[in-house]
């Protein structure tokens, strides 16, 4: 699945393919368009093609077939340094022998900018990332988080219209990484910069992006805003890759409009929303998010399904309780409940009734 409409596209991939050996395609017939000012994240496991797409856009890799356009102009044959694109990498890529200010000044010198203009832009860029007092230091004198701020400032200093980021926060600890996620998103939106961000971290993608392109096996599996991606996955790969997800396997018995009946492998019969199934007799994986499952019958809405479940594990996680259950033959069925005074702590071995609404249960492809 991809977005092929590129009438107002600032960045456009048109039927782009990439092969390193002339046989195996690591990117397969990619059509993708982005409007100006969008923050788009390419998300996927290692080897899915996301970084190759970023490198083709940067000019460090060449498309085997198809065209990449920037603001309506093909950039296939334009070298990287003439594309006017800012880049931020995980390893910072700062020049160790230069001061912070010299690192930021370098891309401006390459563009033949005068000294006073360079100094003004360097100061502005350092202030943007709250590093105004560090211009005289060398990279080795900075922490990892500070170095990443400088790498970000260097990508922004010449005021590019497009910035590419390849796993930029991968080397930082959790707390700093979360802080930088908000900093980068805020800056990108404040400055109106079009951003393409590559990560394998789902939380990062959901937190930062206007839209997320989920890659697997060289193709975009789904391209959508974060909430749509999480709430309405279009296939079983996206459902499993984005957030935590429960699956129950079975066979489609009936399809009528926006409802289908599925007989689970354990014998239970449930209603679901048909998303990626087309005919009776087809095998399916039914997807239900852990937070959509209720364990209190009093909270179930009319029309909810109930199934018997055995408690296997009950884990206290601070703000939530995470309970692992055996449901319809699946020993990895998880529910998440809010830590509230009235929440019962469930003991392993206990049999309970669980339930959910058919609209929260999506019948997807079996693969």
Residue 229, pLDDT score: 94
Q: Please tell me whether residues 114 and 222 are part of one structural domain.
A: yes
Domain membership of residue 2 (yes or no) is no
Q: Please tell me whether residues 158 and 274 are part of one structural domain.
A: no
Q: Please tell me whether residues 109 and 179 are part of one structural domain.
A: yes
What CATH number has the domain bearing residue 213?
3.40.50.300
Q: Which of 236, 261, 290 is the last residue of a domain?
A: 236
Residue 1, pLDDT score: 44
Nearby residues of 227 by Cβ (< 8 Å), 6 or more positions away = none
Domain membership of residue 192 (yes or no) is yes
Domain membership of residue 26 (yes or no) is yes
Q: Please tell me whether residues 263 and 145 are part of one structural domain.
A: no
Q: Name the nearest CA neighbour of 85 among 171, 148, 154.
A: 154
Q: Please tell me whether residues 120 and 169 are part of one structural domain.
A: yes
What CATH number has the domain bearing residue 338?
2.40.50.140
Domain membership of residue 6 (yes or no) is no
- Residue 306 lies in domain: 244-364
Mean pLDDT by 10 residues, the chain (367 residues): 62 96 92 96 93 95 95 93 86 84 88 88 88 90 88 87 89 83 89 93 93 96 96 93 92 91 91 91 94 79 82 91 92 90 84 89 89
Domain membership of residue 173 (yes or no) is yes
* 59: helix, strand or coil: coil
Q: Please tell me whether residues 214 and 268 are part of one structural domain.
A: no
Q: Please tell me whether residues 338 and 222 are part of one structural domain.
A: no
Q: Please tell me whether residues 207 and 72 are part of one structural domain.
A: yes
Q: Name the nearest CA neighbour of 27 among 166, 219, 237.
A: 219
User: What is the number of alpha carbons within 13 Å of residue 62 lying toward its C-beta?
Assistant: 7
Domain membership of residue 21 (yes or no) is yes
Domain count, the chain: 2
Residue 342, pLDDT score: 75
Nearby residues of 119 by Cβ (< 8 Å), 6 or more positions away = 105
Q: Please tell me whether residues 46 and 191 are part of one structural domain.
A: yes
| 248 burial level (CB within 10 Å; 0-12, 13-18, 19+) | buried
What is the torsional sign of CA 74, 12, 201, 145?
A: positive
Contact 342, 254 (CB under 8 A): no
Q: Please tell me whether residues 296 and 224 are part of one structural domain.
A: no
Q: Which of 187, 217, 236 is the last residue of a domain?
A: 236
Q: What is the CA radius of gyration of the chain?
A: 24
Domain membership of residue 3 (yes or no) is no
d(CA 54, CA 11): 12
* 119: helix, strand or coil: helix
Q: Which of 236, 258, 280 is the last residue of a domain?
A: 236
Residue 109, pLDDT score: 83
d(CA 192, CA 151): 19
Q: Please tell me whether residues 223 and 97 are part of one structural domain.
A: yes
Q: Please tell me whether residues 142 and 75 are part of one structural domain.
A: yes
Domain membership of residue 258 (yes or no) is yes
């Amino acid at each position: 699945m991809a977005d092929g409409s590129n009438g107002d596209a600032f960045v456009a991939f048109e039927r782009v393919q990439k092969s390193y050996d002339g046989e195996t395609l690591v990117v397969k017939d990619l059509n993708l368009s982005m409007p100006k000012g969008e923050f788009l994240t390419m998300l996927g496991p290692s080897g899915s093609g996301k970084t190759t797409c970023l490198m083709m856009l940067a000019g460090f890799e060449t498309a085997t077939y198809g065209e990449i356009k920037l603001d309506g102009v093909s950039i296939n044959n334009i070298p990287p340094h003439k594309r006017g694109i800012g880049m931020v990498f995980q390893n910072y890529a700062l020049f160790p022998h230069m001061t912070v200010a010299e690192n930021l000044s370098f891309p401006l010198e390459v563009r033949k900018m005068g000294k006073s203009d360079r100094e003004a832009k360097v100061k502005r860029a350092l202030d943007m990332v709250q590093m105004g007092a560090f211009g005289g230091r060398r990279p080795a004198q900075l922490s990892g988080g500070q170095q990443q701020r400088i790498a970000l400032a260097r990508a922004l200093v010449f005021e590019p219209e497009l910035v590419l980021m390849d796993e930029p926060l991968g080397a930082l600890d959790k707390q700093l990484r979360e802080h930088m996620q908000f900093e980068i998103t805020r800056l990108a939106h404040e400055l109106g910069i079009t951003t393409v961000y590559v990560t394998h971290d789902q939380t990062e993608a959901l937190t930062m992006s206007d839209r997320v392109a989920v890659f697997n096996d060289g193709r975009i599996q789904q391209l959508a805003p974060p909430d749509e991606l999480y709430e309405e996955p279009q296939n079983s790969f996206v459902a499993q890759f984005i957030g935590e997800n429960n699956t129950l396997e079975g066979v489609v018995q009936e399809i009528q409009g926006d409802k289908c009946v599925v007989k689970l492998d354990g014998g239970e019969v449930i209603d679901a929303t048909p998303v990626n199934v087309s005919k009776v007799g087809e095998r399916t994986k039914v997807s239900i998010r852990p937070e959509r499952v209720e364990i209190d019958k009093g909270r179930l809405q009319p029309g909810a399904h109930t199934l018997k479940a055995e408690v296997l594990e009950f884990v206290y996680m601070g703000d939530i309780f995470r309970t692992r259950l055996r449901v319809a033959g699946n020993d990895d069925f998880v529910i998440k409940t809010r830590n509230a005074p009235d929440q019962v702590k469930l003991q392993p071995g206990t049999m309970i009734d669980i339930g959910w609404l058919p609209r929260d249960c999506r019948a997807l492809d079996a693969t």
